Each structure stands twice: as structure tokens, then as C-alpha cells.
Amino acid sequence: MTVTLSIDGVSVRVPAGSTLLAAARAAGRHVPTLCHDPKTKPFGGCRACLVRVEGEARPVAACTRPVAGGMVVRTDDAAVRALVTGIVQLQLSDHPEHCTACAASGHTELHDLAAALGIGADNPFAGRRREQPTEDTNPFIIRDFSACIACGKCIRICDEVRGVMAINWQGRGFGLKVAAPFDDVLDCEFCGHCVDICPTGALREKLAEGLPAPDRAVKTICGYCGVGCGMLVQVAGNRVVRVTAEHGNPSNDGALCVKGKFGYDFGDHPDRLGGTGLKLGATTGERVAAPLVRDGDGFRPVSWDEALDRVAQGLLGIKRAHGPRALAGFPSAKCTNEENYLFQKLLRAGLETNHIDHCTRLCHAASTKGLQMAFGTGAMTNATDDFALADVVFAVGTNTIENHPVSALKLKEAIRKGTRLIVADPRRIEMVEWADIWLDLQPGTNAALLLGMLHVILAEGLADQAFIAARTEGFDDAARAAARYTPEFAARITGVDPQKIIDAARLYGRAGNAAIYNGMGITQHTSGTDNMLCLTNLALATGNVGRPGTGVNPLRGQNNVQGSCDMAGVPAELPGYQPILDPAVRAKFTGVWHAGIPDWIGKTLTEITDAALAGEIKGLYVLGENPVLSDPDVTKTTAALGNLDFLVVQDIFLTETAKLAHVVLPGTTFLEKDGTFTNTDRRVQRVRAALAPPEGALRDLDIIQAVARRVGLPMDYDGPEAVWNEIRQVWPDVAGIGYRRLEEGGIQWPCPAEDHPGTPFLYADTFPIGRGRFHPVEFIPPRELPDTDYPYMLTTGRWLLHYHTGSMTRRSRGIGEALPEGFVEIHPDDAAALGLAPDQPVTVRSRRGTITVRALISPRSRPGVVFIPFHFAEAAANALTNTALDEKCKIPELKVCAVHIAPAPEP
């Protein structure tokens, strides 16, 4: 239904229920606002948007007034303009005369409006100002209350969009203030959304204080997680002043998280490889901006030519002496599609090895394996946008709010609009507060829980028989396997109340559209693939595949882990999930590459480590990965990498892995490169360089090409676009995605042609393997369970503020300051039994290693289970974790092992 009205003499048709402001903007009329944000409910406080509506005695606030047919509106009424001038003068009368906040922040919406109204320095309504001291206590956000105009946007964004409610109004009238609870200092998630939308600079980025005004803004994609947030990087010279969120990008539309908003300055850290701040050891104090080569126990700087020559010699020497199967490479889920593509091309076509794998093995190998087995492709079936389309969301082992904070906003919005949420997680994470049902399972018992749910769905007739008959196969075997998992039996294994298992099964089974989202809570187990198959069984049994708001959706961890998998940073495929054993596929690639491709399946990440330890693999090229910290059992990984004849690491920091290298090649951050990332929604997005690399670093794409040329593989692309165009040639699913189209915004593959819009969800009509496959699953307990020697169960994961092995976030000024060290989260009952005080150092020991870390006593963990984030090298969770593998996909059991805990001895 639409409504027609007249605005400044122009007839406008807008949807019924629109506001006058929306209608005016649709008519191309500028109506100023200070308190309006399209993402929040209309507020109507600032009164800058007053307009005249014919037949009404008083001026009307355009932002709050719904349109009505036949309305005659004037936005240019002189009396109303005079009134608004008076209102803005009143506003300025309670605003610092020479507002340093406005000057410093670069936000001047208030002053722009004053200038537009012709308001000068002389204020007829001058009077006393509020005196509220500026708060400067956290590393991210300065709160300058004197500049606040009480527009309330920060409060509404924090509540209505972020779902955090860290701030609210306090007091009233002239003393009205935006306050944290009890008017204490701000202590929130520090997503910085409020800073982005503050119209006066009352909220400012602390990291930007004292920096010059930006001279340009570069649109690019965040380099942290798989959400793929669009961001605008404001740069002065070659330095980032601030980062703001891109509006209109479907991945984030105006939102960022603390990492994207404030975690951008790690590239300036003195530890930066190739930067002028790097010092090699305290003894020399020599600053080096160059590649490094091993020199005894340390390193010495060398020229790029020398470094690249050494890399080529090292790799070719091993290839000559031991054959190509003695070489391996780890590409990077942090690097661009183009870099990953060239890297695997270098290894396959140049060095003739398929021993290629990367950290995806540690995160979602089970997801991709399970999805491939059930549906045929290893990607999210739907997208994070589908939260809004689902009637029920089943979140299994995903701490979305902390690990994909911006996607979680879509989930929160969906919940506000009626979507129901089931959470399966052993810890009382924040997701639980948003859930209808919390399945608080014992770690490692996912399959029993999910089999229990399948049992209820089948027993209560909630299965979609028509879908099962038409589109699936193997149902009977899967149903038979689930038969003995009654809710009571599942409850005994999982520790979850059987009624909750029944309730969850009913909620999921009866939903019109039910979507499953999973994280690593379900994949990082020896039963990881089976767990995933339990999820695909649930989706197939209830017909929840192939429609919007349904499917099975692994939320990918790294900014480009989807892309690094798409680009075949894995041992058995060529780019685009094309099997490497298929001669036709190899022939196609050979035709484009003009080089042979080895016809055997390479080793997986953990197998490469084993082979290095065994001396079978002697040379390894690591691109931007930190396996020492990210892989299970630090001791073993360190020994394996130390056993190599030649290790080359290309990275931005001297990571724990790089310290073991023979040659270290200084690469570039995501802010210094061009190319594309593919987010967890399969959305390919354009990455643009905002900064020049430091003096001693080279762009990764150039390094890979230089190495390729030196090992005899001609590579001379004219930039990333040329690389991408080759990818489009070999992988039909992205053939329609050109750089020119990406200027308009990201596109979700499959997109086979230039006029194809992209694909928001998969399997509408058919599966690549024909029918969806059920798989019978049995519950298998984790490999290592607590016993008398190691009485506690350890589970690992991430924490909102930090990212993965911390190499980026811990070198970002703000984040590093906010959460500088690791901890073990332990339940108050266990802490009491161990006699632990808050923050007390404790020794955590497993069969593989020992770390000392502070105790964070919290009821988030369950009794008997402790949690350690894996961000901190000095307290590395993966010193403790188990290397036992899932046989099907080779993912290690990072989520469950047994540990012993004791107060640390006095130093």
C-alpha cells in the first residue's frame, strides 16, 4: 500500500507507514536531523526536522510523523526555519563555544547544521552550561559530556541494534545524561557503534586523539573474522586515524565490533616485520626493516633478493634431493583469494606438491566434510541474513555474539521480531540470555544430544516425510541409528534435562523455517564429522534445506577462510572444490596454467606436522599462519617445525612459528593490500589498500610471484584483478563476478554469469550429489576424559576482545591494553574446592604440557569444566590440547581434554 502526498509542491508516493522524513528524502528534499538514525526507532528529540503540514497549527517533526494521503508538507517554511534556528541556538547555548570535541573528532553534524542555518557566534539564548567532566578511563572511547546534545542515538543503537544496553538516560531535564549503570565509567563491549553515529564528537575514538585530520577514506573489508564487515579507513598520510563502518554493506550495514573498529593499528607496532621499529635482540639494538635469515640462534637482515634467492634455493634443494613430496605449504585464511590462489598454484605447479593445507583444518574441516557428505558442497547453505527469515535458529557450539559479533546483531534483531533461539553450549555464554532453550551439554556429547533430538522428531511424527521421500536417501539407516537415543538415554550422556531435549526437538521440528548455525564447539572433536552429520540429518529429516531461513550453516572464523578453501588451500582439490584426482579437472587447469599438476592427494595440516616430525616432509612454506599456537600440542608442533630442513615464513610479525624459520619474509596487513575476501556467506568482496607497506615489507602477492619465478614457474600478473580473472576462468561459480561489479558491492557465489545476481541460498531444487544423504551416526565419547590424575575437563575457544593467536589484537594499542593477558575460566564451586582466589595464578597441566595462568572465577563455566582462550602465547591453551584426530576429516580434538589444576607455586 502506498500513500501520495505533496512535499514542497512535489507529489511523492511512498509506502504507507513511512515517516515524513523518509518521504521528504524520497522526494529529494533535505531535512536536517541530529537525533535520527534509520536503524533505531524514531526519537523526535532534537526538533531539527520540524516541517509545516498544511492544516496543522503547530510545526511537525518529520522523523516521527507517519505520512497520510493528501498531506501537503513544506520543508522550506520561513517561520519553521526561524523556529529551528532558535532551537539550534538553544542547543548551542549548552555546547562549548570552541568545541574541541567537534574539532578533534571531525564529526560536526551540529556545527554543519548551525552553519546551514546561518547561525553566528552571537547567541541570543546564551546561558549557563552543564558541567559534566569528560571520562577518559577506557582505551577506546572518550566521553565528553559537555559536547553531548542528548540526541540519544548512542543509547538507542546500543539497545535496539547492539542489544547490549550498556548506557541509558540518567536524570532528567537539563541534567539529563547518557550514563553507564550507576553513572559508573563505561565498561562495555566497546564496539564503538555509538562513536560512529555521535553527531557532535561527544563520543570520540581515543586512538585518534592528537592525530591530524584524515585526508582520505578507503573502503575495504575487515581483516578479522568471517563476517566480512565493510569499513571505511580514514587515513592521514600513511597512518590510520580511525575506522568507521560502511553503511549499506549487507554483511554489517553500519556496524563493526571492537576488533574491526579499534584493532587496526597492529601494523604500526614496533614488532612489525619490515617496519623500522623492529629490533633484533636486545644486544644489538639494531633496527631492521628487511627480510630476515637465520643466523645461529637468531636472525640477520638481508636484501629482498638474497632472501628470495634463499627461499628458492631452500625449496628447490629439497625437491631435488627428496622429491616434491618432501615439500609442503600452509596458505592463509587471512590472505586474499588472489594470494591464496597463487600460493597453491606455486606449490602445485611450481613445486609439484599437493601437501597443502591450512588452519581451516582446525576449525571447520568437520563442517566442510560433513556438508560435502550430506549435501555435496562444503559451504554455508544459507547466509547470516537468514537469521531474519528463520522461525527457529538452532545455534550449536557457536558463541556468535563473541566470535561473530556483527552477524549476531542480525540474530538479535530476528529474536526481537519473534525468531526463537535454541542454544547448545556447555558454557553459559551470552547467547544463552537470548535463547528460549539452553541445552547445557557436557563438552563432547554433541552427537548424543542431536541423536536424542532426532529420536524425538521421528517418534513424534515431526519429520517431513514428503521431503525425505522426494529429496533424500539413506533415511532408514539414520533413523535406526537414532532409535536407541531416547531423551532419557541422551540425557544420561549429555547431562541435559530430557524435557529440554524434547522441547528443543519440538521447537526445531515444528518450525516453518528452522536454520542451524554451528561453530567450532561441534567440529573440534574426534567425532566432529559425525556431529555435523547429526545436524545435516536433522535438517534433512525436517525438510529444512533449500529454502530461505533454513539450512546448516557453519560460521567461518577467518576473514577469508571461505576464500582460502574456495581457492583450494587444501590437499585434495583444485580451486572451486574440483577434485584433484579427476583427470579432466587437472587437464583444465593445466590448460590455463601451462604446467603439470601432481595427481595425488596431499596430506592434511596435522598429517604434515606428523610427517615433519618423522622427517618425511623437510621443507615448508608458511603464509601468514601461526601453527605453533593454533595447532594442538604446542610442544609437538614446535618439535615438528624444528625438525624441518627448511622453513620459510611469510608474515607480518615474528610469530612463534616465524621464530623457527630459516627465512622470514615481511608481508603486508589487510590494510596494505588489494584483492578480494570471501565472507562466511560466500560473498566475494573487494579489499582495497589504505596504507603503503612499511619500508622493508612487500605485498604478499608480489612475494609469491617472485618466489614462483625463482623456482621456475613464470608468474607476472598485472595486479590482483588479473589473478582474479584467471580464477573466474577456472571456476565457473565465480565467472560472473568481475572487479567492476564488485565496486557496487559484494556478490555471493555461485554467480556463473555477469548478469547473474548471485546466490543467497543453496540447494533450492537439487543437491550437487543428487539427493541429500542421511548418514547413520553413533555417539563416540571424546578421546581423553577426566580421571583421577587429570580431574578437570578443559575446553577452549575465543574471547570477544581478541582474535585467534592474538598476533594482531595483542599488538593493537587499545585491545592489548583492555585485555592484556590470558586466564582460565573456572566455576566458583571448583575454585572453592581448589582454594582459589580471583586472579590467583594457577598451574594448568595436561598430558602434553603445562601453563600458568590467572583464574577467572565465573559461573559461565560449568562445574568440572574449565575454559581457556587460545589467544595468549605465554599461556597457550594449545600447550594442553589433545592432538587426537577425527578420522574422517583430520580435525584435532581441540575442544576436550583432561587437565590438572593447582594454585601456582609462589614465584
Cβ closest to other proteins, residue 6 vs residue 64: 64
Q: For strand 663-666 and strand 292-295, is the pairing parallel, antiparallel, or unpaired?
A: antiparallel
Residue 900 phi, psi (nearest 5): -110, 140
C-alpha cell at 195: 562513536
Cβ closest to other proteins, residue 84 vs residue 198: 84
Q: How far apart are CA 862 and CA 575, in angstroms?
A: 43
The partner residues of 650 in beta bridges, in order of sequence, read 623, 665
- Exposed, middle or buried by CB within 10 Å (0-12, 13-18, 19+), for 770? exposed
Cβ closest to other proteins, residue 143 vs residue 345: 143
Dihedral sign for Cα 713, 716, 720, 722, please: negative
Residues 695, 706 contacting (CB under 8 angstroms): no
Q: Which residue has the cell 526536522?
A: 49
* Residue 858: Cβ within 10 Å count: 16
Min dist CB 91 to other proteins, Å, is 5
Task: Determine which helix (DSSP H) or strand (DSSP E) holds 283, and give its type and residue range.
Answer: helix 281-284
C-alpha cell at 615: 622427517
Min dist CB 169 to other proteins, Å, is 5
Cβ closest to other proteins, residue 130 vs residue 688: 130
Cβ closest to other proteins, residue 108 vs residue 138: 108
Cβ closest to other proteins, residue 148 vs residue 456: 148
Task: Determine which helix (DSSP H) or strand (DSSP E) holds 320, and give its type and residue range.
Answer: helix 304-322
Task: Determine which helix (DSSP H) or strand (DSSP E) holds 256, and give its type and residue range.
Answer: none
Cβ closest to other proteins, residue 56 vs residue 582: 56
Dihedral sign for Cα 297, 298, 302, 308, please: positive
Q: Summarize as ranges the residues that interact with other proteins (CB under 8 A).
A: 42-47, 50, 58-59, 61, 64-66, 83-84, 86-87, 90-91, 93-94, 124-125, 127-128, 149-150, 152, 168-169, 171-176
Cβ closest to other proteins, residue 157 vs residue 437: 157
Q: How far apart are CA 496 and CA 487, in angstroms?
A: 9
Residues 768, 759 contacting (CB under 8 angstroms): no
Min dist CB 99 to other proteins, Å, is 16
Min dist CB 72 to other proteins, Å, is 17
Min dist CB 146 to other proteins, Å, is 14
* Residue 754: Cβ within 10 Å count: 11
Cβ closest to other proteins, residue 173 vs residue 907: 173
Q: How far apart are CA 339 and CA 67, in angstroms?
A: 52
Cβ closest to other proteins, residue 42 vs residue 575: 42
Cβ closest to other proteins, residue 174 vs residue 600: 174
Q: Which residue has the cell 541534567?
A: 175
Min dist CB 159 to other proteins, Å, is 9
Min dist CB 77 to other proteins, Å, is 12
Residues 533, 541 contacting (CB under 8 angstroms): no
Min dist CB 188 to other proteins, Å, is 19
Which residue type, as a one-letter code, is found at position 732? P
- Exposed, middle or buried by CB within 10 Å (0-12, 13-18, 19+), for 540? buried
Min dist CB 31 to other proteins, Å, is 15
Contacts of 503 by beta carbon, 8 Å cutoff, 6+ apart: 437
Cβ closest to other proteins, residue 65 vs residue 269: 65
Q: Which residue has the cell 498544511?
A: 54
* Residue 71: Cβ within 10 Å count: 21
| Coil vs helix vs strand at 98 | coil
Residues 555, 226 contacting (CB under 8 angstroms): yes
| Coil vs helix vs strand at 17 | coil
Cβ closest to other proteins, residue 160 vs residue 829: 160
Dihedral sign for Cα 806, 810, 814, 819, please: positive
Min dist CB 65 to other proteins, Å, is 7
- Exposed, middle or buried by CB within 10 Å (0-12, 13-18, 19+), for 886? buried
Min dist CB 512 to other proteins, Å, is 22
Q: How far apart are CA 450 and CA 454, in angstroms?
A: 6
Residues 673, 699 contacting (CB under 8 angstroms): yes
Q: How far apart are CA 219 and CA 217, in angstroms?
A: 7
Task: Determine which helix (DSSP H) or strand (DSSP E) holds 218, and give its type and residue range.
Answer: strand 216-221
Q: How far apart are CA 240 and CA 213, in angstroms?
A: 10
Cβ closest to other proteins, residue 56 vs residue 874: 56
Min dist CB 42 to other proteins, Å, is 8
Min dist CB 122 to other proteins, Å, is 12
Cβ closest to other proteins, residue 21 vs residue 333: 21
Helix count (H) and strand count (E) of the chain? Answer: 32, 36
Residues 534, 570 contacting (CB under 8 angstroms): no
Min dist CB 18 to other proteins, Å, is 13
Cβ closest to other proteins, residue 61 vs residue 735: 61
Min dist CB 199 to other proteins, Å, is 12
Cβ closest to other proteins, residue 84 vs residue 647: 84
Task: Determine which helix (DSSP H) or strand (DSSP E) holds 826, and give its type and residue range.
Answer: strand 823-826
Min dist CB 85 to other proteins, Å, is 9
Min dist CB 172 to other proteins, Å, is 5
C-alpha cell at 18: 513511512
Min dist CB 95 to other proteins, Å, is 10
Cβ closest to other proteins, residue 150 vs residue 891: 150
Which residue type, as a one-letter code, is found at position 439? L
Q: How far apart are CA 663 and CA 695, in angstroms?
A: 18
Q: How far apart are CA 149 and CA 168, in angstroms?
A: 14
